[in-house]
Amino acid sequence: MLGELRKMKTELLSPVRYQLPLSDNLVDLNPLIGQEIKLTHTGNIVCVHCQRKTKKSFSQGFCYPCFKKLAQCDMCIMKPETCHYDQGTCREPQWGEEFCMQPHFVYLANSSGVKVGITRHTQIPTRWIDQGATQALPIFKVATRQLSGLVEVAIAQHVSDKTSWQKMLKSKADEVDLIAKRDELISLCEQELNSLRQQFGESALELLTDENIINIDFPIVTYPTKVKSFNFDKQAEVSGVLEGIKGQYLLLDSGVINIRKFTAYEVELTV
């Protein structure tokens, strides 16, 4: 089957259900675990926005002109606390209204250890699955993406805001009491959180105390002891026995590949 890669679609079942988009086709991956598969990159990359062929992918699937002009490729997407919408300098103000000036959630997740992160409500629980988290807990609902970033920065003084993808792929994280961790972090960040409430208003920052921990189980037969990562820019063909799926990674007996990283790459899948 031939098509352009998109990040894997997921469904929160036990274990998580994975589907691989190849253009208009969706391939159920869970039944392929235990089988040998081959992914072959044809050399074509098609921009996910304008559909033009590009020699190089930027920001996971964009050609260079789109990368330079689209708000969704701006640095503030990676660092939301630097949002400059209120300064009138957003590349696409309407897109900013629809995407950034909307409620966001700050959460704790346990992937390679406890981390803090942010997401829109439409990305729950997808965001946690994509990060390979085995536990997750929303802790704040805030008014805008920028505010979620500012809360994240405050909490990240005490826990990581990044996932160690190699560690995440090697094993299941030890279980953590995320509710106790939430309470500890809120206490540690009390001064910063109060300052944000004074700046943005009490209603802009809502502490969530009734949320339950979400547990996530991934379809994995064998965890890799060593993590060797494949790269389509260096090696057109990737093959091996599919031993599991976690985050946006396929775990093969020969190595791992991050499907999301190669969004827009034209690939042929052979089972």
* 3-52 pLDDT, tens digit each: 999 999 999 999 999 999 999 999 999 999 999 999 999 999 999 999 99
At 14 the pLDDT is 96
Does residue 258 belong to any structural domain of this protein?
yes
Name the 3-class secondary structure at 25. strand
At 205 the pLDDT is 97
At 85 the pLDDT is 85
pTM listed for this prediction: 0.94
Query: What are the pLDDT digits (tens) for 77-107?
Result: 889 999 898 888 999 999 889 999 999 999 9
Rounded CA-CA distance 107/206 in Å is 12
Higher-confidence position of 83 and 140: 140
Whether 117 and 197 share a structural domain: yes
Q: What's the average model confidence in pLDDT over 174-203?
A: 97
| Of the candidates 53, 4, 45, the residue with the CA atom closest to the CA atom of residue 26 | 4
Whether 192 and 247 share a structural domain: no
Residue 196: half-sphere exposure toward Cβ, Cα within 13 Å: 26
At 167 the pLDDT is 95
Residue holding tokens 């959630």? 105
DSSP label at 213? Answer: P
Q: Is residue 148 classed exposed, middle or buried when 0-12, 13-18 and 19+ CB atoms within 10 A define those classes? A: buried
Does residue 93 belong to any structural domain of this protein?
no
Pinpoint the alpha helices (H) of the chain. 64-69, 75-78, 93-99, 126-130, 145-155, 165-170, 178-188, 190-200
Whether 12 and 113 share a structural domain: no
* Residue span of the structural domain in which 181 resides: 102-214
Q: Tokens for 12, please give them.
A: 């929160």
Query: What are the pLDDT digits (tens) for 220-270?
Result: 999 998 899 999 999 999 999 999 999 999 999 999 999 999 999 999 999
Rounded CA-CA distance 20/9 in Å is 6
Judged against a pLDDT cut of 90, whether residue 119 lies above it is answered with: yes
Average pLDDT, the chain: 96
Rounded CA-CA distance 98/248 in Å is 26
- CA–CA distance from 131 to each of 51, 63, 126 (Å)? 27, 25, 9
Rounded CA-CA distance 1/191 in Å is 55
Whether 208 and 128 share a structural domain: yes
At 86 the pLDDT is 84
Give the end of a domain, one of 214, 238, 261.
Answer: 214
Whether 27 and 62 share a structural domain: yes
Q: Percentage of residues in the chain with pLDDT exceeding 90? A: 92
Give the end of a domain, one of 190, 214, 238.
Answer: 214
